[in-house]
Structure 1
Amino acid sequence: MSRRSTRARFLAGMASAGLAAAVLPTSASWAAETRPQPRHRGVVYTVGAGETPGTAFSTARMRRDIRVIRDRLHADTVDVTGDGVERLTATAAEAAERGLRVWLQPTLGDMPEHDILEHLAETGRFTEGLRRQGAAVELSVGCEFRLFVPGIVPGADIFERIRNLEEGHVDPAAVQRRLNRFTAKAAAVGRSVFHGRLSYAAAQDDEVDWRLFDIVGIDYYSSFPDRADHVRELRRHLRWGKPLAITEFGTCAYVGAPETAGMGWDIVDRDKDPEEIKGHLVRSERAQATYLMRLLDVFSSLGLYAAMAFEFVTPDAPHRPGDPLHDLDMASYSITKTVQDRPFDPASGWHWEPKEAFHALARRYAREQRHDSTVPGPSRPGGTRSPQPPPTP
């Protein structure tokens, strides 16, 4: 189970522990003042070492994917996230070179605080270099620190922290104090190395002091039959008087996944070898695509600053056509499906194929791109000769 995929379980645990956020009143709404700004359309691109030899990070594959994100998906923004300074900076440099807006978000988890902050500082210094070269970049100091940063919630690793949250073995007030302390540290590190717009990707019910940041960032996975409920839930984040970015939104590709409120990934029996899909679920790429389009309608009506679909590709959750018991892509939020050349071989090569969600996003983003080109205003940023990242292994 990937570290990022455990995030949804954390949300449920946080609710059971009584850690839901209070909404603090602030100044006049940003949305009312700056709604004429174009909303940026994007996708999350996760970089990592890979769980098997066959899914190890590849610079050549990343470069092809970035071109697809620009030319076929018609996104103007890529949220580059994950761990490994070399992988993050190589991907950010490529995206900036291709004229994409870069939202760079290091997410080193389950490491000592010092290492996490140093990882952030190194990434932030490179991001500042991109900004000075004229690239359109924003830096996020991380995501959902309760889950990823040891010491905020008791537990030796992510899984133990999740159990403690689910079972209520936490002191909510103490957790909030520790979260506030680390968030302030991360914001200070970000400010010390990066002089552009700073943000953080919070769980949608987190209590965050957004005065520390320039952009409010929310990972959003709600599902309501009534659009007005989405609008009501999101509008409270506009009360900070700052731009609101949806740093993640999406669901999995099976019937009923959108109604799981971010728990869609939890359908895999990981004690089996090979891992199996639990229950008798029905694969539905249409359900995933419909949910994404419904949320984009809501985001557009609110004039949000940006929205990044989660995520472009998940190499370690392969699609196995004709084998629903082992179709791990059903537990993936990816808008593409990973297909192995040799199923069940950890060293197998692979390629991705677009899902219905990819095609739906591409049509939507292309339409918005055409609209942008007819509206007077600043032109889209072009490619920039960016600083060279450290060599990638």
Structure 2
Amino acid sequence: MHTAQLTRAQFLRGAAAAGVLGPLALPARASAATPKGLKYRGVVYQATDGEFPETTWNAHRMRTDLWAIKTQLHANSVLIEGDGVDRLAATATEAAERGLHVWLRPTLGDRPAAEILDHLAETGRHAEELRRHGAAVHLSVGCEFVLYVPGIVPGKDALERIKNLQSGNFDPVQMARRLHAFTSRAAATGRSVFRGKLTYSAAQDEDVDWRLFDIVGIDYYSFFPHRSDYIRELRQFQRWGKPVAILEFGACTYHGAPQDGGMGWSLVDYDKTPPEIIGDLKRDERQQADYLTDVLAAFESMGLYAAMAYNFVTPDAPHRRTPRYDLDLTSYGLVKPVWNSFDRPGHWHWEPKLAFHALARQYRRAGLPLNPG
């Protein structure tokens, strides 16, 4: 059953309890009073290859999507991630020209550490060029290195490393040491090419020395029944006295997905042709929308720096009427891809989910000027 799946947050909490990811000593610094409301509200946009030529990034579709993000979602910011410097650069330039604040997050995974750092440096140089020409841009040095960087835990790829983490097939002391070392190298690489504000997208219970960064960046997938519980959990990140940015938050589109957090994507059997949904999942766009708006309200009330919904669209997870093959059930997308046929995307299009409309209303209200009366 999907409810028995070990979530990313559950693993990290267990590791911390066992002394694997014990927190660093925080600076003895009280947080200043924080104004209410986020500064940046947006969405994660992936500039990546797809399984088909039609679902791979292309400039025309990217421009159309950014137009929708700015004018229909009412976002003022976008986090652009991907593993191709040219795609990242083109998307970031277009977003900046549209007046969106830009977060650039290179995500070259499952490659040697030197290649990952070189990719980061190339991306950072483009971010610096945008910044020097007046664009509002921040750089994230990467995302959840323990999963995506080889050599920190055993595994030939991210999926195998997740399995090893779930089964306990790793050395916790060695993992912590290697994670800290690579994070430090990534921060130094980012600083060497980028003069703007630097961050890192950490799993929420990951042990990070935030003294290396200007912004505390968290990928947040917790679920609580009460909004006050989100606020209580997030307070810990404000203790560093630095801006806190939620660089991912979201839920999949089936009933119960918020409780499954960051592992909802895993409920697909790709060994079957065509791939099938695992279990008897029920589509629930309303629950996805309610979860996003609820946690967003908590972020707003705390006056966090930014919140980026994960994600805009997953082109290779099409919505189909038959639940067994409705891969969009396990997608975090705010919009659902609709393919021309069952087997091939063709000239596919996307349609907004309830989560898109719900966030758009919240983003629009937050962005309106205050009534002086």
TM-score range, shorter chain: over 0.9
SS at match of 1:261: helix
1:22 aligns to 2:23 (yes or no): yes
**1:78 is matched by which residue type in structure 2?**
V
Q: Deviations over 1:158-209 (max 9, x none)?
A: 2221222111121111111101110000000100000000000000000000
SS at match of 2:199: strand
Partner of 2:97: 97
Alignment map for 1:128-277 (pairs within 5 Å)? 128-277=128-277
Q: Distance in 2 between matches of 1:98 and 1:78?
A: 11
Partner of 1:312: 312
Do the aligned partners of 2:37 and 2:300 also contact (CA within 8 Å) in 1?
no
Partner of 1:107: 107
Partner of 1:390: none
Structure 1 pair 70/13, CA: closer, same or farther in 2 (3 Å)? same
Partner of 1:350: 348
**2:81 is matched by which residue type in structure 1?**
T
Q: Distance in 1 between matches of 2:37 and 2:298?
A: 16
Deviation at 1:155, TM superposition (A): 1.8
Q: Distance in 2 between matches of 1:307 and 1:237?
A: 14
Q: Distance in 1 between matches of 2:297 and 2:27?
A: 26
Q: Distance in 2 between matches of 1:230 and 1:37?
A: 16
SS at match of 1:153: coil
Do the aligned partners of 1:14 and 1:166 also contact (CA within 8 Å) in 2?
no
Deviation at 1:112, TM superposition (A): 0.5
**1:355 is matched by which residue type in structure 2?**
K
Do the aligned partners of 2:314 and 2:331 also contact (CA within 8 Å) in 1?
yes
Q: Distance in 2 between matches of 1:374 and 1:183?
A: 45
Do the aligned partners of 2:74 and 2:360 also contact (CA within 8 Å) in 1?
yes
Do the aligned partners of 1:342 and 1:349 also contact (CA within 8 Å) in 2?
no
Do the aligned partners of 2:62 and 2:91 also contact (CA within 8 Å) in 1?
yes
Do the aligned partners of 1:69 and 1:75 also contact (CA within 8 Å) in 2?
yes
Partner of 2:88: 88
Do the aligned partners of 1:13 and 1:167 also contact (CA within 8 Å) in 2?
no
Aligned residues: 364
Q: Distance in 2 between matches of 1:126 and 1:238?
A: 30
Structure 1 pair 93/29, CA: closer, same or farther in 2 (3 Å)? farther
Q: Distance in 2 between matches of 1:280 and 1:163?
A: 23
Q: Distance in 2 between matches of 1:330 and 1:37?
A: 31
- Higher RCO, 1 or 2 (CA under 8 Å, sep at least 6)? 1
Q: Deviations over 1:113-158 (max 9, x none)?
A: 1110010000000000000001100000001000010011122222
Partner of 2:363: 365
TM-score norm. by structure 1 comes to 0.89
SS at match of 2:265: coil
Q: Distance in 1 between matches of 2:283 and 2:274?
A: 19
SS at match of 1:108: coil
Q: Distance in 1 between matches of 2:126 and 2:229?
A: 40
Q: Distance in 1 between matches of 2:180 and 2:141?
A: 14
**1:353 is matched by which residue type in structure 2?**
E
Deviation at 1:33, TM superposition (A): 4.0
Do the aligned partners of 2:70 and 2:100 also contact (CA within 8 Å) in 1?
yes
4+ runs deviating over 6 angstroms: none
Q: Distance in 2 between matches of 1:42 and 1:104?
A: 13
SS at match of 1:141: strand
Structure 1 pair 260/209, CA: closer, same or farther in 2 (3 Å)? same
Q: Distance in 2 between matches of 1:68 and 1:261?
A: 26
Deviation at 1:9, TM superposition (A): 5.0
Deviation at 1:226, TM superposition (A): 2.0
SS at match of 1:265: helix
Structure 1 pair 270/244, CA: closer, same or farther in 2 (3 Å)? same
Q: Deviations over 1:284-304 (max 9, x none)?
A: 100100000110111011100
Deviation at 1:69, TM superposition (A): 0.5
Q: Distance in 2 between matches of 1:112 and 1:200?
A: 19
Q: Distance in 1 between matches of 2:231 and 2:9?
A: 20
Q: Distance in 1 between matches of 2:263 and 2:108?
A: 22
Structure 2 alignment gaps of length 5 or more: 1-5
1:334 aligns to 2:333 (yes or no): yes
Q: Distance in 2 between matches of 1:258 and 1:216?
A: 23
Deviation at 1:349, TM superposition (A): 2.4
Q: Distance in 2 between matches of 1:220 and 1:282?
A: 24
Q: Which sits farther off after the overlay, 151-160 or 80-89?
A: 151-160
Partner of 2:3: none
**2:348 is matched by which residue type in structure 1?**
W
Q: Deviations over 1:337-381 (max 9, x none)?
A: 000011212x5221100000000011111111113x668xxxxxx
Structure 1 alignment gaps of length 5 or more: 1-7, 376-393
Deviation at 1:10, TM superposition (A): 4.4
Partner of 2:323: 324
Partner of 1:384: none
Do the aligned partners of 1:12 and 1:166 also contact (CA within 8 Å) in 2?
no
Deviation at 1:29, TM superposition (A): 4.1
Percent identity of paired positions between Structure 1 and Structure 2 = 57
Q: Distance in 2 between matches of 1:148 and 1:52?
A: 23
SS at match of 1:231: helix
Q: Distance in 2 between matches of 1:120 and 1:9?
A: 28
Q: Distance in 2 between matches of 1:154 and 1:233?
A: 30
TM-score norm. by structure 2 comes to 0.94
